[in-house]
Amino acid sequence: MTLLFQKYKRELIGITLGALSGYFYWKFVGCSSGTCMITSKPINSSLYGALMGFLVAGSFTKKKGDKPI
């Protein structure tokens, strides 16, 4: 478990921060009419935020063999 966390630490932190950001966006900004696909429900905005957090955190991961530009 510890090895798994160490290997994917950056992605897990990104998912957590993204999900929290999505939830707080729903809580404080949200969608007043209820017709917005992402922000109408807290689960939708949290999952979208988690996905965005994963993608952003994963973009900073350096692959083996990558050379600096």
Report whether 51 contacts 18 (CB < 8 A): yes
* pLDDT at res. 58: 85
**What does the radius of gyration of the chain's CA atoms come to, in whole angstroms?**
15
Q: Which two tokens stand for residue 49?
A: 């935020």
pLDDT, averaged across the chain: 88
pTM of this prediction exceeds 0.75: yes
> Where are the extended beta strands (E) located within the chain?
none
Looking at the predicted structure, is the pLDDT value of residue 65 above 80? no
**Residue range 36-57: average pLDDT?**
93
Q: pLDDT band at residue 66, thresholds of 50, 70 and 90?
A: low
Query: Cα(63)–Cα(27) distance, rounded to whole angstroms?
Result: 37
Q: Which two tokens stand for residue 26?
A: 């729903």
